[in-house]
Structure 1
Amino acid sequence: MPLETRPPLVRSPRLDARNGGPAAAPTAAEPAGTWHVIVPVKRFELAKTRLAAAYPPEARAALARGFAADVLAAVRAAASVRGLTVVGDARAAADADEGSPHSRVPVHHLAEPPTGGLRRAIALAAGKAERGGADRIAVLLADLPALRAAALDGVLAAAAAHDRSFVADANGTGTTFAAATVPGVEWCFGPDSAARHRRNGFVELAAPMRFRRDVDGAVDLAEAARLGIGPGTLRARAAALAAIADAQHRPASA
C-alpha cells in the first residue's frame, strides 16, 4: 500500500506567543467572540487507564480532573473564544466556573449520550452550538495539561482561514484539535483520527508541542511537565507522587 502523502502544515503567526497576564486584544485575523469550543471530558474515574502502571485509581482520577481544569482555564482565557461546551463529566464544567469566575466566556454542559461515543457527543454539542448562533466550532481534547491560552489563540487564528482544519497529536496518529468554519461538518475523532481527518479534507495545522502533547501514559505526563503543566495538573501530580512515596516508605504491617 503506498504511503499516505501529507500536505505541508499551515503555520500560525502566533503559535509561539507567550501567555502572560490577561488575554491580548484581538486582531483582524483573530476576532474576539467568534469561536465556540467543545471539550469532551470522560468521567474522571474511567479516564486515563494507561496511567495505571504508575498511578493508583484515585490519583488517575485526580490527574484527569487536573488535565481538564487546565485545558478549560486556557479556553476561557483565550481572546478568540466566545463560548464553551463541556461534554461529559459535569464536574469539569463546575471546576471551570469555579476556577475562572470572572471569565467572559460562558460554560455550558451537555451530558454524554448513552450511545454513540465521542463522535456522537461532539456532533450533538456542535449542532447545539450552531443552532445557538455559533459560526465557528472547535473541538479540543481535555488531556493537554501544558496548553496555554496564547497557543490556543494562535491555532484558532490559523483555523479561521479554512473550512475544516485539525492538529495532530505528538505521535502524529491522533488528533488534539479540530475546527470548522462551515456548518454540518463530520468530525473524525477516534482511532487513527489524524489520517481520517486528512482524508476528509481537514487542513493540518502546525502547533507548538504544548498543544500536541496529550497524556496517555506516564512518559507523556513527564514530557508535559517539562513543557510546563498548569496548576490543576501540578497539584494533582504532586499529591499523587507524594502519596506514592509515602506508601513506598511506610513499614509493612506485621
Structure 2
Amino acid sequence: MPDWTVLVPLKRLSAAKSRLHPPTMTVPRESLALAFALDTLHAAANCPAVGRVVAVTADPAVREAVAGAGLDAVDEGPRPGLNEAIRHAAARLRAADPAAPLAAMTGDLPALKPGELAEALARAARLPRSFVPDAAGTGTVLLAANTGSELDPSFGPGSARAHRASGATPLDGLWPSLRRDVDTRADLAAAGSLGVGRHTLVLLLRARRCNVGHHAGHRGHVRPPNPYRDRLPR
C-alpha cells in the first residue's frame, strides 16, 4: 500500500487555543500553539507509514515556521472553516495522486509518538474510512480515508459522533499520545506526563524557570525538582 499523506490543518495563531491559559505570561498562547503544531508535524514526518506531511494554513507566520522546518504547507483555499480547508487541500492532493491514502490530523498533539501514529494508520489501511477519537471520546484527532474513499471531515464539537454517523469506523487502540490533544492547561499537564516534543518542551522549561524565579525571592522557598529534566532534548 502507498504511504499515507497526512494533512494537518492549523488555525491562524491569533485564533488558536483560545481556551488554553498559558503557564506564565512569558509564554504566549500563540507560541504554545505554534510549538504544538511543529511537534505534531515533526512526529508525523518521522512516522514510517507516512510519505508526506502537509500543513494547511492561511497564517504567513505558520507557513514560514513550517517551511523553516523543511515541511510542506498549502493554503486553506477560498472557503472559510477548518473542514473546508481540509477538503480544499485533499482535493488538490487527490488530483495530483488519485491513489494516495489521505489522513487529516489535528495540530495540537505535542506528545505524539510516531510509532502510535503508525499503528493507527496500519489499522486504517484495512478500512475504507476511519477515525481515532480524542482522549475524551467526543472529538477526533485523526480521520483517515483509504484509496477510493473521501475524507468527508466533520471536525469540531462532537466530531466523533459526526464521523461515526457518516460511516467512518472508530479505531480504539491504546494510543495515549495520539489521543492527547491539548485545549486546556490540564490537557497540557497530561501531555507533559507523556513526554512532549522539543518545541513544546523548550517553552515549558522557560515557563518553569520564570515561575521558580518569581517565587525564589520568598523566604523559605525551596527549589522544586525539575519534572522535565529527563526529557531534555539531547
Shift in alpha-carbon separation, 1:86–1:57, aligned structure 2, 3 A: farther
Task: Identify the residue that residue 196 of structure 1 maps to in structure 2.
Answer: 162
Task: Identify the residue that residue 3 of structure 1 maps to in structure 2.
Answer: none
Q: 1:152, CA displacement in angstroms?
A: 1.0
Which of these residues, 45, 48, 51, is aligned with residue 79 of structure 1?
48
Task: Identify the residue that residue 226 of structure 2 maps to in structure 1.
Answer: none
| 198-207 vs 52-61, which moves further | 52-61
Give the length in aligned residue pairs: 214
Matched, 1:187 2:153: yes
Deviations 1:178-228 (A, max 9, x none): 000134331111110000011111111123111101001111100111111
**Cα distance between partner residues in 2 of 1:179 and 1:165:** 5
Matched, 1:225 2:192: yes
**Cα distance between partner residues in 2 of 1:57 and 1:51:** 14
Task: Identify the residue that residue 25 of structure 2 maps to in structure 1.
Answer: 56
SS of 2:28's partner is helix
2:182/2:188 contact within 8 Å kept: yes
RMSD: 2.3
Shift in alpha-carbon separation, 1:40–1:250, aligned structure 2, 3 A: farther
2:67/2:73 contact within 8 Å kept: no
**Cα distance between partner residues in 2 of 1:126 and 1:175:** 18
**Cα distance between partner residues in 2 of 1:37 and 1:178:** 10
- Counterparts of 1:1-254 in structure 2, within 5 Å, are 31=1, 33-52=2-21, 54-56=23-25, 58-88=27-57, 89-99=59-69, 101=70, 107-113=71-77, 115-133=79-97, 134-181=99-146, 182-207=148-173, 208-246=175-213
Shift in alpha-carbon separation, 1:45–1:159, aligned structure 2, 3 A: same
1:40/1:118 contact within 8 Å kept: yes
Q: 1:123, CA displacement in angstroms?
A: 0.3
Write the letter of the residue equivalent to 1:82.
Answer: G
Write the letter of the residue equivalent to 1:132.
Answer: A
SS of 1:139's partner is strand
Shift in alpha-carbon separation, 1:54–1:114, aligned structure 2, 3 A: farther
Shift in alpha-carbon separation, 1:186–1:57, aligned structure 2, 3 A: farther
Deviations 1:114-145 (A, max 9, x none): 64310100000111110110520000111011
Q: 1:60, CA displacement in angstroms?
A: 1.3
SS of 1:51's partner is coil
SS of 2:112's partner is coil
Provide TM-score, normalisation by structure 2. Answer: 0.82
5+ residue gaps in structure 1? Answer: 1-30, 102-106
**Cα distance between partner residues in 2 of 1:57 and 1:202:** 42
Identical amino acids, percent of aligned pairs: 36
| 158-167 vs 184-193, which moves further | 184-193
| 233-242 vs 157-166, which moves further | 233-242
SS of 1:50's partner is coil
